[in-house]
Structure 1
Amino acid sequence: MDTTTLHPAVAAAYRVLETGEPIGREAALALCSLEGGHALDIASLANKVRNRYGGGGVHACSIMNAKSGVCGENCRFCAQSRHNSSEIEVYPLVDDDAVIFEARASVEQGVSHFGIVTSGCGYPKMSAEFRRILGMIGRLHEELPTLKVCASLGVLGPETAAALAECGIAHYNINIQVAPERYGELIADTHSVRDRMETVRLLRKSGVSVCCGGIIGVGESMEERLDMLFALRELDVSVIPINVLVPIKGTPLEGAAPLPLADVVKTFAVARLIHPQKTIKFAAGRETVMKDFQGLLMLSGADGFLTGGYLTTRGRAVADDTRFAEQLSSFR
């Protein structure tokens, strides 16, 4: 391709398309500093890299909030924290039949990945509740054999990580959210991001594919966003979900200003150039924040999305997202 009409930083980044080798920090910073139409040039390159090196198709998954609210952690964006005053439905761990019902509905709508999500810091040690979750996963495998079962249960220890590996889950989600050095200030100080990173390492050591990403729009700079993306590269995770903050009433971030669209586009595009062969999933904020521009984000390097809802905020109907994925395929 003739790159002579492109900004030199974008032209240099075309090496990723040719070799599959990710860009370094200096190149990423140069791309993030570009403005105007250059953002679309970065997006176009990221889309080409995704098409050449990604897994093919669109990775769609749905999740179930299997245990809601009364979380003792003080995450600044989260409606489920008891430190915040958001009005949400609160309930303990649901029974197996409720999980089977939701998972079956996902399968019937053509969704291949289904995640069980619980509120709280996690399960660093084996407990009766954790054993119940293992039983749920076993039933899902037995009754819905085509379904890829995933989980997001917080921080784990060696025993619980090994037990999930033995259950054969498809992916485990635990996000580092932001640059590790800013986690205590921007996200929460009742627990450490190091515990989350150690959970990633435990799972990978046990052979579990890890879904680990972050959230943008919580007060971080673009450089700190890159710190998060490069930390994820060091962790060598398989799936990278990127959430765009949905300000929720009753949380400290309820009045946060929306990010400029160009910044979001550049974040997704540069994430693809840093992680050419990973799955990059557009999570929260796709419908409610990006609205008319969500298709652009899916053509800026992303190759996956959450469908059907986001724990305490609404998503979009699976049928609508199925048509959306079909329409995106015409650009491949």
Structure 2
Amino acid sequence: MTATAIHEAVRRAYGVLETGEPLPKEVALELADLGGEEVMDLVSLANKVRNRYASPAGESLHTCSILNAKSGVCGENCRFCAQSLHNGAEVEQYKLLSNEEALAAAGEVYRQGVRRFGIVTSGYGYRTANPEFLRIISMIDRLRQEYPGLQVCASLGMLGEEPAKMLAGHHVAHYNINIQVAPARYGELIADSHSVEARMETVRRLNRHGIPVCCGGILGVGESMRDRIDFLYALQELDIAVIPLNVLVPIDGTPLEGTATLPVTDILKTFAICRLAHPRTIIKFAAGRETVMKDFQGLLMLAGANGFLTGGYLTTRGRDMEDDRRFMRQLEHFSAVTAP
């Protein structure tokens, strides 16, 4: 790409800041080829778009915490996941936690000031409202009753019509289900024990029942920059409320163990282009923020993201909530002094 073409691509991208309309895909493909200092120009633009169009009401950052409520023994063959029975990772296995265990875990983050708490279970999901699913419904009700103002979210895999309808009736705040990568490459890069279409249909079903959906993916599983653009624009077709972006944490015993970390510039470009493609959507930095990005996590948060996962993840460690509170105050100050 010539210097003139790069300049033109960045100039065209500034239209998002002026209008709040999503970046055309053809411009995103040009931006994917940026290098050197032009990447920082793109990051600066993404941060300005975030500040102007995507600040959550009443707060500057969207934070949440999750509970691994049912671990391991999953029959799906997702290549990155420690909980799959097809992989050889060492992971703690247990059945669905009791309501009391979930209440105790939620209480810890509630006292830390976090008001979004997600219940996550391993496995394909719930085609029907079976007894285990009804226990989860009971857990959601108890959490909402015990902790006023707590937004209870769920990530339970793929859903049939009845479970989706019940979650809406019990006021789930958000439902997370990721498409992970560009749909055309899902079977190759993620799993072939189920289809990406089953995930996308779950998103559509949840939307029909009025449940805001948190749907994103994972970077660094063998995809190209073109694949990442295809992934980001596939999300445009699904009416997503929150986009979580994960950076692969390679886990021993999975097919992706030993995978090299993506260059920081590639991750920066992906976050920034995601913001321009989704100017008004919450973009949340999830796994890999501390363990992979390390010294660069603040820069990633200034590349268009306006939320993050705090505390532990499912099978990998997270970051201390007190450290994250200090981190958040620093980010809020930076956004305040740089807002357009």
TM-score range for the pair, normalised by the shorter chain length: over 0.9
| Letter aligned with residue 147 of structure 1 | L
- 2:8 partner letter: P
Q: Measure how far apart 1:126 and its partner are.
A: 1.2
Residue 202 (str. 1) matches residue 205 (str. 2): yes
CA distance in 2, matches of 1:323, 1:202: 38
Q: Distance in 1 between matches of 2:38 and 2:228?
A: 19
Alignment of 1:326 onto 2:329: yes
Partner of 2:24: 24
**207, 216, 231: which one aligns with 1:228:** 231
Q: Which residue of 2 aligns with 1:15?
A: 15
- What TM-score results when the alignment is normalised by the length of structure 1? 0.98
CA deviations on 1:62-103 (whole Å, 9 max, x unpaired) are: 000000001000000000000001111100001000100111
The amino acid across from 2:40 in the alignment is L
Structure 1 position 117 matched with structure 2 position 120:
yes
State the Cα RMSD in Å.
1.0
Counterpart-to-counterpart distance in 1, 2:11 and 2:233: 21
Give 3-state SS (helix, strand or coil) of 1:224's partner: helix
Q: Which residue of 1 aligns with 2:307?
A: 304
Shift of 1:7: 2.0
Residue 317 of structure 1 corresponds to which residue in structure 2?
320
Q: Distance in 1 between matches of 2:216 and 2:127?
A: 20
Q: Which runs of 5+ in 2 are unaligned?
A: 336-340
Q: Equivalent residue for 1:287? A: 290
Structure 2 distance, partners of 1:231, 1:117, is 24
- Aligned AA for 1:292? D
Task: Name the CA distance, whole Å, in 2 between partners of 1:125 and 1:153.
Answer: 12
After superposition, give the CA deviation of every residue in 1:239-280 in whole Å (9 maximum; x if it has no partner): 000000000000000021110000000000000000000000
Task: Report the Cα distance in structure 1 between the residues aligned to 2:196 and 2:106, rounded to whole angstroms.
Answer: 30
Structure 1 window deviating more from structure 2 (56-65 vs 290-299): it is 56-65
Secondary structure of the corresponding residue to residue 237 of structure 2: helix
- Measured in 2, the distance between the counterparts of 1:7 and 1:283 equals 31
Query: Partner of 2:68 in structure 1?
Result: 65
What residue identity is the alignment partner of 1:244? V
CA distance in 1, matches of 2:208, 2:196: 19
CA distance in 2: counterparts of 1:31 and 1:125, whole angstroms: 44
Distance 1:55 1:329 in 2: 11
* Distance in 1 of aligned mates of 2:66 and 2:51: 26
TM-score of the aligned structures, taking structure 2 as reference length:
0.95
SS in 2 for 1:235: coil
1:99 corresponds to which letter in structure 2?
A
Amino acid at match of 2:214: C
In the TM superposition, what is the alpha-carbon distance from 1:14 to its structure 2 partner?
A: 0.5
Report the counterpart of residue 39 of structure 2 in structure 1.
39
Q: 2:16 corresponds to which letter in structure 1?
A: V
1:156 to 156, 159, 162: 159
Asked if 1:76 corresponds to 2:79, the answer is yes
- SS of the residue corresponding to residue 73 of structure 2 reads coil
Aligned-pair CA distance for 1:55: 2.5
Correspondent of 2:222 among 178, 199, 219 = 219
Give the distance between the partners of 1:204 and 1:303, measured in 2 at CA. Answer: 23
Residue 331 (structure 1) shift: 1.6
2:269 matches 1:266: yes
Cα offsets for 1:98-125 (capped at 9, x unmatched) = 1001111111001110000000010011
- Distance, in Å, in 2 between the alignment partners of 1:174 and 1:321 is 25
Report Cα offsets for 1:179-235 as digits up to 9, x if no partner.
111100000000011010000000000000000000010000111111111110100
One-letter amino acid of the structure 2 residue matched with residue 270 of structure 1: I
Distance (whole Å) between structure 2 residues aligned to residue 194 and residue 9 of structure 1: 33
Could you list the structure 1 runs, at least 4 aligned residues long, displaced by more than 3 angstroms after superposition.
none
Q: CA deviation at 1:146?
A: 1.0
2:126 is aligned with 1:91: no
Q: d(CA) in 2 for partners of 1:235 and 1:315?
A: 29
**For 1:31-73, what per-residue CA distance to the aligned partner results, in whole angstroms no more than 9, with x for missing partners?**
1101011111000000000000003411010000000001000
- 1:119 partner amino acid: S
- Report the CA distance between 1:324 and its aligned residue: 0.5
Residue 185 of structure 1: which of 184, 188, 204 is its match?
Answer: 188
The alignment-based identity, stated in percent, is 65
